Each structure stands twice: as C-alpha cells, then as structure tokens.
Structure 1
Amino acid sequence: MELFGLVDCNNFYCSCERVFHPDLIGKPVVVLSNNDGCVIARSNEAKALGLKMGDPFYQVKDMLEKNNVAVFSSNYNLYGDMSKRVMSLLSRYTPKLTQYSIDEAFLDLSGMDNLQEYCKEIVRKVGKGTGIPVSLGIAPTKTLAKMASKYAKKYKGYEGVCLIDTDEKREKALKLFEIGDVWGIGHRNTKKLGYHGIKTAWDLTQKSASWVQKELSVTGLRTWKELHGESCISIEELPHKKSIFTSRSFPGVGVDKLQDLEEAVANFAASCSRKLREGHIACRNMTVFVYTSRFRVDTPEDYISSDIIFPVATNNHQELVAYAVQTLRRYWKGDGKYYYKKAGVIVWDICRDNEVQGNLFDEVNREKQQKLMAAIDEINKKNGHDTIRISTQGYLKTWHLKSEYISHQYTTNLDDVIVLKV
C-alpha cells in the first residue's frame, strides 16, 4: 500500500526562536513581518489570547505588552538554517524525501513495518536533534496526509503521529474536518460549497464526481479523488501562491535619491525571485510601485506604478532585478523632488517552473541561467541570504528595515554563537 508522510514543523518561526530562548517554552510568542509591520507567526499560547495572523503590530502592541508576549522580528537566516537541519535529519529515515516548504516535507513511507512506532521515533529524534517540535500525518494520498498532520498537531494523544490507513479511519477523519481546511479548496470555494450544504470534507465526498468537476473544475475533482483515497496529485500540482508581494515603508521622512530607492527595489525583486525558486514556480508579470506619504501636507505627492510582462515566465534573479530597476529609472523625476515613503514589488500570473512555455525570439540562454542561479542559491544556503548578490542590491547601508526585535543569527554567524560562561 502506497503511504505518504507529511512532516510539519509546529509554529515553525516561533519554535526556532524558542530553541535559543528555552525560557519561552509554554509562554506566548509572536514573530513580526519584515519591517515589524504585522504578526505573521504565533505560538499556541499567543493564539489563545485571540491574536490573528496579519494583525498590525501597532494595533496589538499594548495588548502584547500587557500579556507579556515575547515579540521577535523576522530572522530568515536563522529560520532557513533551522529548516535545513530538520530536513537533514528527516532524510536519514527515507531516501525519498521532498521538501514542500520551509517547514513541511513529504516522506515516502510505503512498505515500512511497524509504521506508527517508526514515525513516533522520527518525531522524537527531530525534536531532540533540532529543538523543533514536528507533527507527522500518514495516509495513502497527500491531501489526506495533510489532514492527518493537522490532527497529529491538534491532539496530544497521537504523540505527534496520526495514521489514516483504513476506510474507517478515513471516514471518521473526513467527518470531523471542516471543508475550508482541506488543501486546495480555498476561501472562495468554501463559500460556494457552504451554499450547497457542504460543511465538512465528508460532505464533499458524498457528491458525485460529475457534480464536483462542474462546480470545482478538474482541480477540485482531483482533491475529491484524494479524499476518497485515490492518489492523483503530484508534488508539482499541490496548491501554490497566486502572487508574491514584498514591500517596505521607509523610516523617517522617506527616500529621495534614485540610488537609494534602486537599492531597495532591487532587494525586493531579489526576495520575490528567491521565493519563486523555493516554490519551484515562475511569474509572467511583475508590478513595481513607489509612493510618497499620503498624510504629509508639507511635501509634494507622487505615485509610480508599472506592470512588466515577461516574454517568458521567469524566476531568474538577474532578470527580475534588472526589469525592476529599469522600470524605476524610466519614471524617476529627479533626486530631491519627492520623499518616497513606501516601495514594493509584486510578482504574479504564476505557473510551475516546469510548465514554462518558451518563446521563439527569446534571447536569454535559459538553461545556462538556471544552472547559474542553482549554484548561487546553493552558496547562499550555506553562507546566508545574499552572500552573493547583484551589485544593485548594495549593502543595505542607505536604507534599512525596521527590525527592533530581531534575534541573533545563532547558527550562521560566528559573532552570534552562544557563549557559555562556566
């Protein structure tokens, strides 16, 4: 019997911070987005306080202080390295491991004996070896494995492992699982299905295949089949983001020099490019924008926004940065004329990187660029983000992110290594 295991790191960003602050175990912890804008990760204790994903930091700051919530700025160097450590440990238990995201990976567990105990051992060893608690869901399809991992995380009695390997277990799991939490359903479809009286995953499985295909298309039909126990979705077909958005507000009065703004926009485009490659996806369109403060009356207002259509869908670092900077230069009105308070880059119209359609007149050697980016990514993984970068990205000296609560880079920077005094 074919069985997939989905390993999911529990509250990953918060857990990474707790590894180096063990006094915070059992206490509320939140992690903020870049520029300390909003809450992007919460420990279970923080969730119990009513904190929501995306809560603006300035709105909940007093409540966080009142409840002694530990606050951290995003530390992606630390999180990326801790992710590598988790994946390295997992790879010892099966030769077939596929990382799906920074905190999730699929394991092929087909044909293994005493599976429940074997997987509990995986959970224990990863927790002990990295300090990161993980949950493991096992089922005959990837969609059911994701469901099982949520049960493993929710109920302590499972000891971190939930196995769905019989029709009886599958039926019970489906009846207790809300339809909106099923992988690939999405918010819009949840409303539509609710109109038809479909509240749980089990309700969906009771509909006919023809009805599901009519209402949810072929993609929804695949999900329906997976819920029935038929494996038909590959890793490449799992849900991915429709767009990736990176933006920052600049401190003080803002930025009024082209070189400074170029540096910021180049870094935003580079960040989007990295996220695209990590997700094995590419974009056909990109939007670059910058604007002045809407609330200042003592300086003139300006807004720059432009869409770029790529001749071939891409996730290439050099290409995205070059287009972003060229766009900014095209609309620039001169240094000192405006003080720009915010800038950002959005990449959208996304497709799988193995589904990119070529262009007969494409002048870029895609194969060569792909190999170059793979080499750069490997170096940056070992030595930290942006160890190798395009010169336009600068060294973040002329503008900076607001990261008042950032922790040390304990595992990737010698200056931040923990020192024990005996």
Structure 2
Amino acid sequence: MYAIIDCNSFFASCERAFNPELMDKPLAILSNNDGCVISRSSEAKALGIPMGAPLFKYKQVIAEKNIQVRSSNYSLYGDMSERVMKLLEKFSPEVEVYSIDEAFLKLPTSNDYQTLGHTIKTYIYQCTGIPVSVGIAPTKALSKAANNIAKKFPKKTNGYHVIDTEEKRIKMLQWLPVQDIWGIGRGNTKRLQNKGAQTAYEFTQLKDDWVKRNMSIVGLRLKKDLEGEPTIQLEDEVQNKKAIATTRSFEFTFSDKENMKERIATFASRCAEKLRMQDSSCNIVMVYLRSDRNKKNESQYRASKVITLPYATDSTLTINQFAQKALYEIFKPGIKYKRAGVILMGLIKTNALQLDLFKNEDPKHKQLMNAMDVLNEKYGGRKIKMANQDLQRTWKMRQAHLSPEYTTKFSDIITLNCDTI
C-alpha cells in the first residue's frame, strides 16, 4: 500500500504552529516583496480571497474582514518541511519527498490501515503542530485521490481516508472528475472530455491502445494505477535539474550599476551552490534584466545575454565573472530595474567533465568552493560570500509582515517567562 501525506495550508500552518493567536483566524501568506497571496488558510478561502490575489487590490477587503497577513518566511517553512519528512521515516524507510508539503510513503503490510492513517496524522501534529491529510491506497494515483477525499471531507474522514476494497475504488473513481486526477494535465483533460470521459472511472474504461496512442505511455501508466495496478513507483532519487535559475524582484527599483552588480553576484552565487548540490557543472550562463512593467510612465526595458563558457564549471567565482560580463553588456543607464535573474544551462555531471588541453578550471577553485559550502552549511545564513555581495542581506525583498524565524535563528527562538512559586 502507498500513502501520501499532504500538509494542510502548509505555510499558514507553520505560522500558526508558533503563534496560537492565529488559530481559527483567516490568514493569508504573501509572495516575495509582499506582492500577492500564495497561501491561504481555510478561513481566508471562505472569505473569498483567491490564490494569487494582488495585495494592493484586496487591502480594503483584508482590513474589513480582519484577515491576518504574513510575509513569506521560507527559512521557517523549509525547516518545518524537513522536520515533517524526517518524522515520516518512522512509518516507512521508503519516503519520496514530492514537494515542500507532500510526501509519498510505501507502507509495510498492515492489518489496519485506518488506524495507521490516524496514527500518522496524530503523530505529525503532536511533534510539529502541522495538520496533515493522509490518503492510503494500493497505488500512488489512488492514494492521491484518497487524499483528495480526506481534504474535501475532513469531518467525515477525520483527515485520513483508505481505499482498501474494490467497492471503495470504484466509488472514488466515479466521484473524481478527470481534471482532478493526479498528473493528468490540461491537454489530456480536454482530450478525455472530448472522448466523453468526464470522470476517472470513465477514463479507466477506455481501451489501452487509445490511451497509449493519445496520451503516451505515461497516460497508460496512470490508467493502470487508477485500475489498482501499481505502475507508478516511488522515485529512487530526486532527478537533477536541466537548468538552474535564481530570479527575484527587488525591494525597490535600482538604476545604478553597483546595486545591479551586487544582485547579479548574489544570484550567481546561489545558482552555483545549487549546481554543486547536484554534482553538476554548467556550460552556459544567462543573465536577464527587467524594468517595472507596472509603472507605465517609466521607460520600459527588457534584455538578456547568453554567454557560452570556455569550459564547464561549478565555481562561484567563475560563474559570477561571466555573469558580470553579461550584465555589463546589457545594462542600460537611466532605467529603473525591478527584476533580474541568472540562469545556468548546458548542465553535465561534474565527474564526467571533458578536460581541455589549454582551458580548464583553476584547481584551487574546487578546494575553495568545498570550504565555502562546508562553512555555510555548518554556520548557516551563507556567512561566506564574495566581496561584491552584500554582507548583511542576501535577499533584498519587501517583507513588511515577516514573522520571526523561530527554528533557524537563535535571536528568534521563543522564550518563556516562568514564575517561581
């Protein structure tokens, strides 16, 4: 049997875990620079706050309905996610982290999966304060559907649902619309609806050869999974990315080159860190700049530059050198820049580098990068930086409603005042 554990309104739940005053109150979490809503509590959803709602358009509604607002606290969310995933290993050695708030488990044989679902849900909440929904079924696709039921009907299911009989499987498939099938996609949804399949059950009644011809082998595997045949297995490892990007909107617009150089250096540094984390090197560096498109009365400008490197590298110093070169070529004075990004492409495994007789990485870089990564991992907060980076702040974003980093910053650890008797 497979299980999927999905954290309910994860970002909002992380905030509530350390601030009980937010319990049962409508809560909205904002994106970088407090631009729009990226997560909502169930109470905020009920008040009509849509996903992606621009903050400036909903300020009056938020004030009138007393909706609590918080800036994204990714340090806190990332740490809480890691804690949840670690706790899940208690129930199975086979855990696939599917996203920051979801994980699949391959469960050991049990005579009572209902009790197991309840135990997982209770244990995670007791240890972290994060409420979760649990779906258990013979396949990954069916467990995802079971999780949908657990979230859709929390009072009836108590937050967990098990599909362990053929009768339950058929009933679920007849209830589930095709657009809500895990991994179906918009294109296949339209294709199935045009074929007359409106539900997951009707999808499973289609012939295999039609599904394979129109939806590829991936669609056929999904159909088999819904039929109860475990065809989609747990991923053994996270697949390496084919491109790595770090892009951000700025807290304020910048017009001077020095600020832009610092931002590009920080983005290049973060890209290089991600590159080394997956043991890859890059052959191509791309830098792009954007003006503020919302300021129609200002001069608008969009530009990008791609540079092919003379050799593949994972060195922060080398990547930043070429990123700065790209910046110099596309920077235009007088423009108020609001966004920029660095993208690394042409990725290959570092241990498969093809050396050149004349142009290769300085061998000292590898030792230096290793030392930087070890120290930053040990002390956190990216203490070791390049000289042209801001030593005080890494991500310069507007975060007017930021909560403390309760679990990752010593100065933000909760303190208790206990009166002696």
Task: Give the TM interval when normalised to the shorter protein.
Answer: 0.7 to 0.9
Name which of 384, 388, 405 aligns with 1:409: 405
The AA in structure 2 aligned to 1:225 is K
The C-alpha deviation readout for 1:116-148, integer Å capped at 9, x for no partner, is 212211210110111000111111211221221
Instruction: Give the corresponding residue for 1:138.
Output: 136
Give the Cα separation in 2 of the matches to 1:197 and 1:374.
60
Greater shift, 314-323 or 136-145, is seen at 314-323
The AA in structure 1 aligned to 2:396 is H
Instruction: Give the corresponding residue for 2:416.
Output: 420
Question: What SS does the aligned partner of 2:82 have?
Answer: helix
Instruction: Give the corresponding residue for 1:261.
Output: 260
Give the Cα separation in 2 of the matches to 1:124 and 1:5.
15
Give the Cα separation in 2 of the matches to 1:115 and 1:313.
50
Name which of 33, 39, 42 aligns with 1:44: 42
The C-alpha deviation readout for 1:246-288, integer Å capped at 9, x for no partner, is 5444345x22333321332344455667778999999997753
Is contact 1:144–1:227 with CA below 8 Å preserved after alignment? yes
Is contact 1:260–1:399 with CA below 8 Å preserved after alignment? no
Change over 3 Å in CA distance of 1:95–1:315 after alignment to 2: farther
Is contact 1:281–1:350 with CA below 8 Å preserved after alignment? no
Name which of 104, 122, 135 aligns with 2:120: 122
- Give the gaps of 5 or more residues in structure 1: none
Written as runs of structure 1 = structure 2, the 5 A alignment for 1:139-218 is 139-156=137-154, 157-218=156-217
TM-score when normalising by structure 2: 0.82
Change over 3 Å in CA distance of 1:30–1:244 after alignment to 2: farther
Give the Cα separation in 2 of the matches to 1:386 and 1:263.
15
Instruction: Give the corresponding residue for 1:28.
Output: 26
Greater shift, 16-25 or 187-196, is seen at 187-196
Instruction: Give the corresponding residue for 1:79.
Output: 77
Give the Cα separation in 1 of the matches to 2:89 and 2:20.
26
Is contact 2:286–2:326 with CA below 8 Å preserved after alignment? no
Question: What SS does the aligned partner of 1:250 have?
Answer: strand
Is contact 1:316–1:373 with CA below 8 Å preserved after alignment? no
Written as runs of structure 1 = structure 2, the 5 A alignment for 1:88-127 is 88-127=86-125
Is contact 1:312–1:359 with CA below 8 Å preserved after alignment? no
Deviation at 1:72, TM superposition (A): 0.6
| Percent of aligned positions that are identical | 39
Change over 3 Å in CA distance of 1:412–1:299 after alignment to 2: same
Give the Cα separation in 2 of the matches to 1:277 and 1:174.
43
CA RMSD between the two structures: 4.1
Name which of 396, 400, 405 aligns with 2:396: 400
Change over 3 Å in CA distance of 1:219–1:55 after alignment to 2: same
- Give the gaps of 5 or more residues in structure 2: none
Question: What SS does the aligned partner of 1:204 have?
Answer: helix
Deviation at 1:375, TM superposition (A): 9.5
Rg bigger for which structure? 2
Deviation at 1:93, TM superposition (A): 2.3
Written as runs of structure 1 = structure 2, the 5 A alignment for 1:60-75 is 60-75=58-73
Instruction: Give the corresponding residue for 2:224.
Output: 225
Is contact 2:4–2:102 with CA below 8 Å preserved after alignment? yes
Written as runs of structure 1 = structure 2, the 5 A alignment for 1:333-344 is 333=332, 337-344=333-340
Written as runs of structure 1 = structure 2, the 5 A alignment for 1:298-317 is 301-307=300-306
Deviation at 1:397, TM superposition (A): 5.0
Instruction: Give the corresponding residue for 2:250.
Output: 250
The AA in structure 1 aligned to 2:414 is I
